[in-house]
Amino acid sequence: MSIVKSIERSLRFINKIPILSTLNHIGGLLVFGLIVYVEVFFVLQITQTLNIPWYTQEMANSAVAQGIMNNTPYLSEAVYDWWLL
Protein backbone atom coordinates (compact mmCIF):
# COMPACT_ATOMS: atom_id res chain seq x y z
CA MET A 1 0.00 0.00 0.00
CA SER A 2 2.80 2.40 0.77
CA ILE A 3 4.25 1.83 -2.71
CA VAL A 4 1.02 3.01 -4.30
CA LYS A 5 0.88 6.05 -2.02
CA SER A 6 4.47 6.99 -2.80
CA ILE A 7 3.80 6.74 -6.55
CA GLU A 8 0.67 8.83 -6.10
CA ARG A 9 2.58 11.49 -4.17
CA SER A 10 5.34 11.61 -6.75
CA LEU A 11 2.84 12.09 -9.59
CA ARG A 12 0.73 14.80 -7.95
CA PHE A 13 2.60 17.52 -9.80
CA ILE A 14 1.06 16.28 -13.06
CA ASN A 15 -2.39 17.37 -11.92
CA LYS A 16 -1.08 20.89 -11.31
CA ILE A 17 -0.31 21.36 -15.02
CA PRO A 18 -3.36 23.28 -16.33
CA ILE A 19 -4.06 21.38 -19.56
CA LEU A 20 -3.51 17.96 -17.98
CA SER A 21 -5.73 18.89 -15.07
CA THR A 22 -8.53 19.82 -17.46
CA LEU A 23 -8.07 16.63 -19.48
CA ASN A 24 -8.12 14.64 -16.23
CA HIS A 25 -11.43 16.23 -15.23
CA ILE A 26 -12.99 15.67 -18.64
CA GLY A 27 -11.77 12.06 -18.72
CA GLY A 28 -13.18 11.45 -15.25
CA LEU A 29 -16.50 12.94 -16.30
CA LEU A 30 -16.68 10.70 -19.37
CA VAL A 31 -15.81 7.56 -17.40
CA PHE A 32 -18.34 8.44 -14.68
CA GLY A 33 -21.04 9.07 -17.30
CA LEU A 34 -20.33 5.73 -18.94
CA ILE A 35 -20.50 3.92 -15.59
CA VAL A 36 -23.83 5.56 -14.71
CA TYR A 37 -25.24 4.73 -18.17
CA VAL A 38 -24.28 1.06 -17.80
CA GLU A 39 -25.73 0.93 -14.27
CA VAL A 40 -29.03 2.44 -15.43
CA PHE A 41 -29.07 0.02 -18.36
CA PHE A 42 -28.66 -3.00 -16.06
CA VAL A 43 -31.30 -1.74 -13.63
CA LEU A 44 -33.74 -1.25 -16.52
CA GLN A 45 -32.83 -4.64 -17.97
CA ILE A 46 -33.37 -6.45 -14.67
CA THR A 47 -36.56 -4.62 -13.73
CA GLN A 48 -37.98 -5.14 -17.21
CA THR A 49 -38.35 -8.84 -16.39
CA LEU A 50 -40.78 -8.04 -13.56
CA ASN A 51 -44.40 -8.60 -14.46
CA ILE A 52 -45.81 -5.51 -12.79
CA PRO A 53 -48.42 -3.91 -15.08
CA TRP A 54 -47.94 -0.28 -14.05
CA TYR A 55 -44.14 -0.59 -14.31
CA THR A 56 -44.37 -2.16 -17.76
CA GLN A 57 -46.65 0.68 -18.85
CA GLU A 58 -44.27 3.31 -17.46
CA MET A 59 -41.34 1.68 -19.25
CA ALA A 60 -43.28 1.69 -22.52
CA ASN A 61 -44.16 5.40 -22.10
CA SER A 62 -40.68 6.55 -21.07
CA ALA A 63 -38.68 7.93 -23.98
CA VAL A 64 -35.48 7.90 -21.92
CA ALA A 65 -35.86 4.27 -20.87
CA GLN A 66 -36.74 3.20 -24.41
CA GLY A 67 -33.79 5.16 -25.77
CA ILE A 68 -31.38 3.48 -23.38
CA MET A 69 -32.78 0.02 -24.06
CA ASN A 70 -32.96 0.40 -27.86
CA ASN A 71 -29.79 2.41 -28.50
CA THR A 72 -27.41 0.05 -26.76
CA PRO A 73 -27.43 -2.91 -29.17
CA TYR A 74 -24.11 -4.52 -28.22
CA LEU A 75 -24.82 -4.43 -24.49
CA SER A 76 -28.40 -5.62 -25.01
CA GLU A 77 -27.19 -8.52 -27.13
CA ALA A 78 -24.52 -9.47 -24.57
CA VAL A 79 -27.00 -9.43 -21.68
CA TYR A 80 -29.45 -11.51 -23.72
CA ASP A 81 -26.71 -14.08 -24.41
CA TRP A 82 -25.67 -14.16 -20.73
CA TRP A 83 -29.23 -14.79 -19.59
CA LEU A 84 -29.66 -17.68 -22.01
CA LEU A 85 -26.64 -19.47 -20.57
For the stretch 43-70, pLDDT in tens is: 888 888 888 889 889 988 999 988 888 8
Backbone angle region of 17, left / alpha / beta, with phi > 0 → left and psi within -120 to 50 → alpha: beta
Domain spans in the chain, listed from the N-terminal domain onward: 2-84
- Single out the residue of 19, 9, 65 nearest to residue 42, CA to CA: 65
Q: Which helix (H) or strand (E) holds 41?
A: helix 18-47
The model's pTM is 0.68
Measured CA to CA in angstroms, residue 60 lies from 1, 32, 57 at distances of 49, 27, 5
For residue 73, what pLDDT is reported? 80
Mean pLDDT of the chain, nearest integer:
85
For residue 85, what pLDDT is reported? 58
